[in-house]
Amino acid sequence: MGSIQLKGVRKDFGTVAVIKGVDLDIKDGEFVVFVGPSGCGKSTLLRLIAGLEDATGGQVLIDGKDVTEVGPSERGLAMVFQSYALYPHMSVRKNIAFPLMMAKTPKDQIDAKVAKAAATLNLGDYLDRRPGQLSGGQRQRVAIGRAIVRDPTAFLFDEPLSNLDAALRVQMRVEIGELHGQLKKTMIYVTHDQVEAMTMADKIVVLDKGAVAQVGSPLTLYNKPDNLFVARFIGSPTMNVLSGAAAAKRGAASIGVRPEHVDVSTTAGEWKAKVRLAEHLGSDTFVHADVEGAGQMTVRREGEAALHAGDTIYLTPQEPRVHRFDAAGLRVA
């Protein structure tokens, strides 16, 4: 089992409230991603679950047991950090085996668990190498292997891909997703990258200034954001937000429309605009435009669009896809 529950969890550093009463239910086997901008408290919340930080208030429960006052080594969790934290003088085999060696596990059990973890992570050919002889992605797999051999209740990942280049990040996203499918263990993953959150998670927890802004599946957050913060944070390019006449016409303080939900014409439409920049990516064209009386907007066109800086275009939002928000920034049904 690997259910985790937070009840009113708070964390203060002096007079500064970093985590402001978080309530959260994580089911056994879920892949949950904590996402938000730098300083929102996502890593602190993960450390509170791990027991690496003491909670100022509230409760942390694992499989129904209150572990708020229990040390990290007794919570049955395994954490994978942004820094690989490998021992450079040890082989891959010994790095993976290290937590079992410290627990004085019999050698035959250690060998069996290391072999199984290495096979799962495609590290069988590298067991006798040292970390300095491995790529960044391979080192991260060794760090994950060290967590796997402990057979934890849940895995906690703290921005594990931040040190990798773009291509390796994509590869490791796939590998961690496949690993979750194989192990069927609860995984909590912290990232500031909303693309990672959208592609990996069963459930996303969006954090804003130490509080939960919204919890839901990736598509729920994308299609029905509860507030302007989530609307702007989830999605790349970000959602266009307009106020003034465009919003008043639709009975809202502000409206949001995603770049792919705006129709473009060179002859007529609701908003007249001038193209500032067209980014031609092959599969898509991102058009950045100045809209008369409404400010800047980004529009996504599938494939190659024959638009260039200085062109006059007309934009019309797809009405069923328009998001409405009140003066407090909350979604209007």
pLDDT in tens, the chain (333 residues): 789 999 999 999 999 999 999 999 999 999 999 999 999 999 999 999 999 999 999 999 999 999 999 999 899 999 998 877 889 999 999 999 999 999 899 999 999 999 999 998 989 999 999 999 998 889 988 999 999 999 999 999 999 888 788 888 888 899 899 999 999 999 999 999 888 999 999 999 999 999 999 999 999 999 999 999 999 999 989 999 999 999 999 999 999 999 999 999 999 999 999 999 999 999 999 999 999 988 999 999 999 989 999 999 999 999 999 999 999 999 997
* Residues facing residue 257 across a β-bridge: 240
- The radius of gyration of the chain's CA atoms, rounded to the nearest angstrom, is 24
Q: How far apart are the first and last CA of the chain?
A: 38
Helix axes 92-102, 107-120, angle to 10 degrees: 130
| Structural domain spans, the chain | 4-230, 237-325
- Supply the pLDDT for residue 294: 86
Cα–Cα distance for residue pair 250/257, rounded to 1 Å: 13
Cα–Cα distance for residue pair 98/222, rounded to 1 Å: 42
- Supply the pLDDT for residue 167: 84
The CATH code of domain 4-230 reads 3.40.50.300
Measuring CA to CA, which residue among 236, 234, 162 is closest to residue 205? 234
Beta-carbon-side half-sphere exposure of residue 34 (alpha carbons within 13 Å): 30
Q: Where are the beta strands (DSSP E) in 14-89?
A: 16-26, 31-35, 57-62, 65-66, 77-80
Pick among 2.40.50.140, 3.40.50.2300, 3.40.50.2020, 3.90.330.10: CATH of 237-325: 2.40.50.140
Residues belonging to the chain: 333
